[in-house]
Structure 1
Amino acid sequence: MDMHDWPYIKKSARRKKRLVKKDFDKQLIRLDKQLDILWATKYKLPMVPLEIPYQSGWKRLFVLRGDILRSTKGEFYQNLLKKINTVQYHHDRAFKKRKRKRGKYVYSEKRQLLRVIDEYDWLRNTLKLTDREKILFSPKEVWSVRKKAMITEYHCMETWRFVLVVKPHIIYEKKQHDELLERQIKQIKNRIDRENLQPRMSKLVGGSRHKYWKWREEQKKYKNELKNKPVYSLQEDYTGY
């Protein structure tokens, strides 16, 4: 039988529209993958040392007190500090933040603490603390606004051994620049912004925006089972009679 004798199946307008939309979605998925590859390539670019280092603001971090550093336990606390130290960066050496109070702007010093270990990192020992180092931490029950529940945190009890110092933040190296790579990323981002493709791309690839709005919708659908329920019915459910 000749292929020209086969019956011709005409596509309906609805099917044509569906195929066009499906092909467009495939293009968006390929575009998202291409952008991910470009970002990964940019991330893997090596660091290049600068000919002339320059200062970019200030950094504040904890250091071990001089008397503790010179003591017999200096090396022990120095190793502990490497695991729980925190660093803040600021354009001003004073490290003050502006806050509006009673219609006026006031400046207060930014607070900085040693790292607080959450329960997840403590149980899995992601910081690789030794048994001797774990003795220096105490658990503390605090209220988590994000989780809306009480959580356990582990705080260092001997914070007095460490002091804050402010040092110049010197930049010694920078990321290698690839002009062609930057141009390709910019072209894709411009197209996404110009044609407003991000919402559809996020929905197709399971992006954070889509997941967030899906979570919000699920939260709205929550129903209180105890609302408008008679008291005697609740008593029957609780006591069984």
Structure 2
Amino acid sequence: MQANEWSFEDGYCRIRTARQRKRARIKDFHKYLRRMHKEEKRLDELKYRMPLQPLARPYQKGWLRTFVLRPDVATSRQAAFYQELLNKINTVEYSNDKKFRIKKRKWKRKKVWVDKPQYLREYSERWFFSRDCKLTEQEKLLFHREERTHKHTKEVSIYYVFSERWRFILKVKPRIITHIKMVDGTLDGKIQRMENRITTHHLRHQMNRQMNGRTYHYLSRAPWPPDPFKQRSLTDILSEVYNDQQQ
């Protein structure tokens, strides 16, 4: 008698089939992955919220570069308006070199020193028109629309860029470290053991798939070439082949 054919009268017990036991194991494994993800997230949050401790002797660690108002803009009537806008779109770059240079490969695999570029903050189309965007309607008028094509996926993305870049200039300042984040050895040990467990058993991919639905590399999203025979009848295709042979 098969397990699923047993009756539920007195003297009998319900026995799970092999398929039910396998499904239960998979379900328990998925619960285990969710618990690990939740615990990892909790430990990372605790480490992020560790308080800062002031240093007795601050020290310099490299240089930082940021945007500031031009002298003529800073003395104009609209200085307060552009300063408030700059606080929202400003960016910061760090470097050990005061000249902010990087090596870039040129023709014939030669590397040369070039100036490191720095841009103001740009907004995607979705973020630009969302409620979370902190730009006012008057500030949004100073942005223009740009379309950019990804070199791998060939997808077109829309960004909104500040039009009057000339109002700001770059300023280099020393990067002074005045505070340091406190370290908890017990917490770091728990995070490292969690990472070792995930790495050793190759669980990262399955955790991402369980939490986010699927995982993929951006190169896998490259579109397939168009099919020339799609939505065409066999008669039309054979006729076209026959005409090409005749020519």
TM-score normalised by structure 2 residue count: 0.73
Whole-angstrom distance in 2 between the partners of 1:16 and 1:121: 47
Q: CA deviation at 1:56?
A: 2.1
Whole-angstrom distance in 2 between the partners of 1:24 and 1:155: 46
Change (3 A) 1:232 1:152: farther
2:136 counterpart of 1:130: yes
Whole-angstrom distance in 2 between the partners of 1:150 and 1:203: 27
**Count of residues paired in the alignment:** 226
**Residue range with higher mean Cα deviation, 5-14 or 127-136:** 5-14
Where structure 1 has 5 or more consecutive residues not aligned to the other structure, the ranges are 235-241
Specify which of 66, 70, 73 is matched with residue 71 of structure 2.
66
Specify which of 45, 51, 57 is matched with residue 46 of structure 1.
51
Specify which of 80, 84, 92 is matched with residue 75 of structure 1.
80
Q: CA deviation at 1:168?
A: 1.3
2:181 counterpart of 1:160: no
Specify which of 90, 97, 104 is matched with residue 95 of structure 2.
90
Identity, % of aligned pairs? Answer: 37
Q: Are 1:140 and 1:154, in contact at CA under 8 Å, matched by a contact in 2?
A: yes
Q: Are 2:122 and 2:160, in contact at CA under 8 Å, matched by a contact in 1?
A: yes
2:185 counterpart of 1:183: no
Change (3 A) 1:135 1:103: closer
Per-residue CA shift, 1:165-187, capped at 9, x if unaligned? 11112222222322211111111
TM-score normalised by structure 1 residue count: 0.74
Name the counterpart of 2:229.
227
Q: CA deviation at 1:9?
A: 6.2
Per-residue CA shift, 1:126-182, capped at 9, x if unaligned? 443334333333334443547734444333332222111111122222223222111
Per-residue CA shift, 1:37-94, capped at 9, x if unaligned? 2122222222222222222221111111122212222222211211221211112112
2:40 counterpart of 1:35: yes
Q: CA RMSD in A?
A: 3.5
SS at match of 1:211: coil
Whole-angstrom distance in 2 between the partners of 1:152 and 1:13: 52
Give the aligned residue type for 1:28: L
Whole-angstrom distance in 1 between the partners of 2:40 and 2:30: 15
Change (3 A) 1:87 1:192: same
Change (3 A) 1:48 1:13: same
Q: Are 1:83 and 1:127, in contact at CA under 8 Å, matched by a contact in 2?
A: no
